[in-house]
Amino acid sequence: MRRRVLSMVAGSAAAALALGLTAMSASAAPQEWVIDPGGDYTGASGTTVLTNTANGVTLDCTGSDASGTLAGSASGSPAQLGTIADISWDSCSGPLGLTFEVVPQNLPWSINGESYADGVTTGYIGGVVANLTGPGCDAIVEGEAPGTYDNASDTLAPHPIDGSAHALTVTSVDSAANCFGLINEGDNVTFEGAYVVTPGQDVTLQ
């Protein structure tokens, strides 16, 4: 009887182990992103806003255009879904009516997906480097801009996301053009825009 009990216990343990290994294997399976149709795209935004969270100072641009390439598929989370190969901003102004130019550097930037729900992909734009120049101001912003892509509106929207680990930071300010003290090295900034993507893309995570 004892041998039978021990045999049953051993059998149950083996079955539980096999079930656990199967579950672990399934959970370890890479997530597959599908971007349809993928390929080359353009994106156009109305007003974009760069905000210095240290003091609330904003740099507003009347419009922005971007272009790049999207993958047809990608694996994992985060996953690189595409790139921004070119981006520009129009008519940018800051405090006191000062005009600025935003010059992108380190292109292409990456478009990355981290999670998906109800037709909305949450992720970030990575590898961002931008030079802000204007009268009395020369600063560099670097980092990752969190944001979303909405299938329903075909809109790639960088914007602040509570709890996001991704951020943009002022990494340098020219000592001779210190932006009147309104932007300082180490300040965190947020970037907001709404780029309507053409052709429209359907992004899913399977």
Report the DSSP beta bridge partners of residue 129.
105, 142
With bands split at pLDDT 50, 70 and 90, how would you rate the model's confidence at 16?
A: very low
How many whole angstroms separate alpha carbon 172 and alpha carbon 143? 13
145 pLDDT above the threshold of 60: yes
20 pLDDT above the threshold of 90: no
178 pLDDT above the threshold of 50: yes
44-73 pLDDT tens trace: 999 999 999 999 999 999 999 999 999 999
The DSSP secondary structure of 129-177, one letter per residue, reads: EEEEEETTEEEEEEEEEEEEEETTTTEEEE---TT-S--EEEEEEEEEE
172 pLDDT above the threshold of 80: yes
Fill in the DSSP letter of residue 107: P
With bands split at pLDDT 50, 70 and 90, how would you rate the model's confidence at 29?
A: low
With bands split at pLDDT 50, 70 and 90, how would you rate the model's confidence at 7?
A: very low
Instruction: Give the mean pLDDT of 183-187.
Output: 96
Query: How far are the Cα atoms of 24, 51, 180 from residue 161, in angstroms, in the given order?
Result: 31, 14, 29
pLDDT of residue 19: 39
9 pLDDT above the threshold of 90: no
Q: Where are the domains of the chain?
A: 1-29, 32-205
What is the reported pTM?
A: 0.85
21 pLDDT above the threshold of 80: no
The first and second tokens of residue 158, run together, are: 């960088």
How many whole angstroms separate alpha carbon 156 and alpha carbon 147? 7
pLDDT of residue 96: 81
pLDDT of residue 30: 64
Report the DSSP beta bridge partners of residue 33.
74, 205
Q: What is the SS3 assignment for 178? A: strand
103-121 pLDDT tens trace: 999 999 999 999 999 999 9
